[in-house]
Structure 1
Amino acid sequence: MKYSSQFKALLTLCGLGAFTLANAQGYPNTPPEVSPMPMKPEMTEIWTPEVRVVTPGKTVGDAPSDAIVLFNGKNLDQWVSQKDITKPAAWNIIDNDYMEVKPGSGGIQTKMKFGDIQLHLEWSAPDVVENQGQGRGNSGVFFQNRYELQVLDNYNNRTYSNGQAGSIYKDVAPLVNPLKSPLEWNVYDVIYTAVRYKADGRVDSPARITVLLNGVLVQNNTTIAGLTNYIGLHMYPDAHGDDVIALQDHNNKTQFRNIWVRKL
């Protein structure tokens, strides 16, 4: 079959266009002569803004230089009583090392309010094992004063899965149970992303949480369904912003130490 010179020229142009498109899309083996612009290394380098320097702690678990230390074993100056926020936190400080829940005194909460954070917190069940199920070393860490990460002695202690340590209480069970014995310290390292609301008060994006318990991932960017109620479905409340971190008094002498946060 014979083609006219005009048709041959059109075929040639179409072929060059196809090669150019292929090169732009990153297809391999594209002839360099049809590339619209050669790439250079500096074209994909980002120099500004410069990454801020943060000095890490001397050992694992120590607060980095930009952290807000909420408890270092010395005092409860960063905390107040949840029963009466005009009064200081009533929990006991033991050996200038850790605080212990004072059963019946009520929970405690931070003076400062937070949204997105990185949280480090160490906790231990009471040294003397008493009761079982939800009655052993029960407490909780509340983000934005509403959404609970469960604290519980689940070392050889079975309970409902979405109520054990590492769970988003009555919402999402932990992936695994890496808990230590009551005579040892457990460590939470948490990345918490606060709930966002639309201008009309509806939820724009729910709260999310990633939790490592003793260095083991137990919540992987988990979506929190809403208020972590003991009874009833979990739904989000009316629109709210940053709020306090709270620790629960559940009538157990649960212990806490080395608590710090970084605002994200």
Structure 2
Amino acid sequence: MKIVTLLTPLMVAFTLGYSPNEAGDENTANGNKTLAVRTLPTASDEFPGEIVNFKSYAQNPVFAGTGKPGTWDEKIRERGYILREGNTYHLWYTGYKKEKNAVMHLGYATSPDGLTWTRHSSNPIYDLDWVEDMSVIKSDGLYYMFAEGRNDVAHLLTSTDRIHWQEKGALDVRLTNGNPISKGAYGTPAIWQEKGTWYLFYERGDLGIWLATSKDLKIWTNVQDEPVLKMGPETYDQYAVAMNQIIKYKGLYYGYYHASAFKDWREWSMNVAVSKDLIHWKKYENNPIIGNDKSSGLLVHDGKQYRMYTMHPEVNVYFPNDWIPLFNGTSTEQWVSAKSDQFPKTGWAIDNKILVVNQGKGESKAVVRGGDIITKKMFAQFDLEFEFKLALGANTGLKYFAKKYPDGAILGCEYQLIDDAGNKDIANDTNDKRRTAGLYELFAPVSRQLKPIGEWNKGRIRVEGTRVTHWLNGVKVVEYTIGSPEFMKAKAESKFKDVKDFGTAPGHILLQDHGDEAAFRNIRIREL
């Protein structure tokens, strides 16, 4: 099968990958050759929003176990698979009874839109062996299902009609020296096929993701005997990782993998990494792309765009989540004065597509100040990105969850923006809770990432559930949980100790006029 067949809008391709070829070359692969490492594109080119930013469908879940005791698919579990061919979505899923030592069987359902599903009348369509965590690929008119069987061992099944499957046996995976891999689990197989070579991504106890290749589907040989994708170092994937799918998009391979932050698997998430050669992977700095204990995700092209499905513990669908520009270089339409319903006439200005406050002023000496500005809309869960540049000695801030209080004050959590080295009030201060990217007065940044004065910095704030993270120039520097004992203790020790509802959603985004010169650009937000 040619790769272009997998990438048509009618089908889904699986497994993680990074192409060795130039961007836009969809039909070439490196096979097993050694590649020189190339410089990666910019972050926006590496991880386009249309394949990493998704929002949950309001009517989720779209498919689940029957919930009826005694039925073979009373419950479903990781990982099902979806292909779209023509105008029909095809779903294979693992069903089981809610009882001890239940056997996992294979079910099949179809849908005209990927939202409303009809179970096949002959379900389960395969009950001769344990089938779960499958990947399905069509090649030369034949369907290949790579699945996990008993004892978490990967095996292969084939079909000509998607319904009747024949067992082909366990996959024979070898080390680079030709010897069999050590005994034990090797499961969650994810498959990619390109230019006559099959690529098998598999995990061993969820402790890493390995890659083996085959020309004949009989012998699979490791590309290297170490994982090509490892756990960590971030918290979200520090305990378990397993590959779900690989697609090729604009010349690069993208591997979608689920991961767990804890040993008891209580916090699954969906994540993505990018590669040029299917061997060397770079994780997305904004992982996880879907949290809330969702796993076993994969992309399906619906003819217009990619949507994401997560397959455990039920099937949920997510549609592309577009960014909202809060400032795009031409308009302040999203903002008003914190004290009126109009944008300030003085103090703030657009200069060469940059939003500037107190231009030419410094160290709180602005004669005429425009005052703070806030977004017209309030936000609760969001991903906010912005760029900022500070003048020498400047002090300002960006607040979120900002609320108006009866005494006229507008208070919120402040992502501190200050010249760490040049501001005379903090230059020699040992209280790091007042330094750039910290949560002002509550939590200090764990590292200092501020660029020299006069250079642009990139800030980011992500709020998902009660978890909040601050980022500065691609490095996570603050992480906390709203309402946690740690948060409440920090609040009690700050000047906000008596402020009701401080640090709770929703609230406005606020840009502070502290009297000093600061510049902003590329401010955008997406709701989660």
Please give the TM-score of this superposition, normalised by the length of structure 1.
0.65
- Provide the C-alpha distance between the structure 1 equivalents of 2:489 and 2:444, rounded to a whole number of angstroms: 15
More helix by share: 1
Judge conservation of contact 1:227–1:236 (CA < 8 Å) in 2. no
> What amino acid is the match of 1:213?
L
Larger proportion of strand: 2
Partner of 1:78: 334
The equivalent of 1:187 in structure 2 is 458
Which residue identity does 1:186 align to in structure 2? N
Rg larger for: 1
- The aligned residue for residue 500 of structure 2 is 237
After superposition, where does 1:1-264 map in structure 2 within 5 Å? 36-37=102-103, 39-41=130-132, 46=311, 48-53=315-320, 66-84=322-340, 86-90=341-345, 91-96=348-353, 98-102=354-358, 103=366, 104-126=369-391, 129=392, 136-145=393-402, 146-155=412-421, 157-159=427-429, 160-193=431-464, 208-221=467-480, 223=482, 224-225=487-488, 232-234=495-497, 237-238=500-501, 242-264=506-528
- Cα RMSD after superposing both structures: 3.1
Q: C-alpha distance in 2, partners of 1:115/1:94?
A: 31
**Matched residue, 1:58:** none
Structure 1 residue 76: Cα displacement: 0.8
**Structure 1 unaligned spans of 5+:** 1-33, 55-65, 130-135, 195-206
Matched-pair contact (CA < 8 Å) for 2:467–2:479: no
| Amino acid paired to 2:384 | L
Unpaired segments ≥5 residues, structure 2: 1-99, 105-129, 135-147, 149-295, 297-310, 359-365, 403-411
Give the residue type in structure 2 aligned to 1:78: Q
Query: Given that residues 170 and 229 in structure 1 are in contact (C-alpha distance below 8 angstroms), is that contact kept between their aligned partners in structure 2?
Result: no
For residues 116-147 of structure 1, the C-alpha deviation after alignment (integer angstroms, 9 at most, x for no partner) is 11000111101xx2xxxxxx221111111111
Deviation at 1:236, TM superposition (A): 5.4
Q: Is contact 1:171-1:225 (8 Å) kept?
A: no
- The alignment's TM-score, normalised by the length of structure 2, stands at 0.34
Deviations 1:137-158 (A, max 9, x none): 2111111111111111114644
1:220 is displaced (CA, Å) by 2.5
Q: Residues of 2 paired with 1:226 and 1:118: CA distance?
A: 26
Query: Is residue 357–residue 513 contact of structure 2 (8 Å, CA) maintained in 1?
Result: yes
Is contact 1:82–1:106 with CA below 8 Å preserved after alignment? yes
Q: Secondary structure at the match of 1:142?
A: strand
| Deviation per residue, 1:81-138 (Å, 9 max, x gap) | 1122x22144111112x11113421100001111111000111101xx2xxxxxx221
What secondary structure sits across from 1:51 in the alignment? strand
Return the alpha-carbon distance in structure 2 between the equivalents of residues 230 and 78 of structure 1.
34
The structure-2 alpha-carbon separation of the partners of 1:36 and 1:242, relative to structure 1 and needing over 3 Å to count, comes to closer
Aligned to 2:521, the other structure's residue is in SS state strand
Which whole-Å CA distance do the structure 2 matches of 1:169 and 1:109 have between them?
18
**Contact 1:155–1:179 (CA under 8 A) maintained in structure 2:** no
The number of aligned residues is 198
